[in-house]
Structure 1
């Protein structure tokens, strides 16, 4: 059970860096805004470069600060954002269920992620905008098959209607925490980004080869 704090928080036990990646306009920034601030803006503009927000939660009596990086999806920023994959212990691969091309690009984004990130990173495939079911271009079954083949977690979300957004992030964070807690890990000063207040433990995720296959999550079914 995860309990979320407001603007104040006790001592931080862990800092987990998670990156949001995927094509432009699939709703990465809106997912982050919904999770971090419970906000949604119809006038959202494309992310330039990289932005991040944080949210603190309690997992098994440990205080965890999720530091979530929102990477621009435009091609011209990819060389810049690739450096930000390093140090990430979790990743959300986001596509738009109404745009088949954004899903077809998931394999390429996944390849780039695995090239730049730690090999044991926790990865969740996110099919966003499931409130637009009448415009669906990506069957849930296609995404489930891809997730199972690549050993990813999977969930469909709607940032507009707040469907499965908190569940997706909290599930990923729990997986990261559980993987981290399986071993006695070397503690370093976890201080991602420019904020000196974000201090905790840098986590090296243990090998997940023995973990069960991808978990499935529906949206509007």
Structure 2
């Protein structure tokens, strides 16, 4: 059987209050589109995307050592590009489903903690979400704070006099991320696509660094990351075009 088109699978969860755009972010990453109308998530929805991680292919030109009379160095082989399949778990944000949502934190290697920058109440709750996550998930889980709906927090053009709806400043969220040991703070717009891939890729790259540091048992599904391994390709249903895909799910 041929090898799968990925080297690793990582489980990522999107968490945060209802209405912050978690589903829209996942759809934007997996399907490259924005849906203005989306049903409230009940339980969890799933998506996937295969992304490159680590150093890409690069051409190393021979360098001459004429100055010291030496011969040009032979070209060095570039390591093959690694690919990671992000298994995305978009969880419900309503308090009603919180006990169910928490169960999906187990076995996650990464998390996007999402709030709406135009609704301060959603930012006020990120500490509770982070505490719930860290109480259940692996201690080494990679967490990034995402302020979504950036398109509503800035004018469309310099001549646009529409007031900003922003209620949480960039500095305030950045300080919170730093004080709470979160990897980084990124502002996104699921509507325009701004910084969406960047947010997910920052998590993927840090997970890849942790893989290289030996922090995961790739044969233990509870670690949140796994390699192809013996028969690994049998357990993977490839997504649609460009490694993208999303399916609905329910509790």
- Does TM, scored on the shorter chain, surpass 0.5? yes
Structure 2 counterparts to residues 132-147 of structure 1, below 5 A: 132-133=152-153, 134-147=164-177
Moved more, 172-181 or 58-67: 58-67
Q: Partners in 2 of 1:138 and 1:184 — Cα distance?
A: 35
Q: Partners in 2 of 1:185 and 1:89 — Cα distance?
A: 9
Unaligned stretches of 5+ residues in structure 1: 1-8, 200-221
What number of residue pairs does the alignment pair up? 189
Secondary structure (helix, strand or coil) at the match of 1:85 reads: coil
Q: Partners in 2 of 1:186 and 1:116 — Cα distance?
A: 18
Contact kept? 1:10, 1:63, Cα under 8 Å: no
Contact kept? 2:210, 2:216, Cα under 8 Å: no
The superposition leaves residues 31-65 of structure 1 with CA deviations (integer Å, 9 ceiling, x where unpaired) of 00001111111111110111110111222322211
Contact kept? 1:15, 1:190, Cα under 8 Å: no
Choose the corresponding residue for 2:179, options 149, 155, 167: 149
Q: Partners in 2 of 1:92 and 1:187 — Cα distance?
A: 22
Structure 2 counterparts to residues 8-157 of structure 1, below 5 A: 10-60=4-54, 61-133=81-153, 134-152=164-182, 153-157=184-188
Taking structure 1 as reference, are residues 87 and 181 closer, same or farther at Cα in structure 2, changes over 3 Å only? same
Secondary structure (helix, strand or coil) at the match of 1:136 reads: coil
Q: Partners in 1 of 2:216 and 2:107 — Cα distance?
A: 15
TM normalised by structure 1 equals 0.80
TM normalised by structure 2 equals 0.71
Contact kept? 2:107, 2:221, Cα under 8 Å: no
Which has the higher relative contact order, 1 or 2, with Cα contacts under 8 A spaced 6 or more apart? 2
Choose the corresponding residue for 1:175, options 198, 206, 212: 206
Compare CA radii of gyration and give the structure with the larger one.
Answer: 2
2:180 is equivalent to residue 186 of structure 1: no
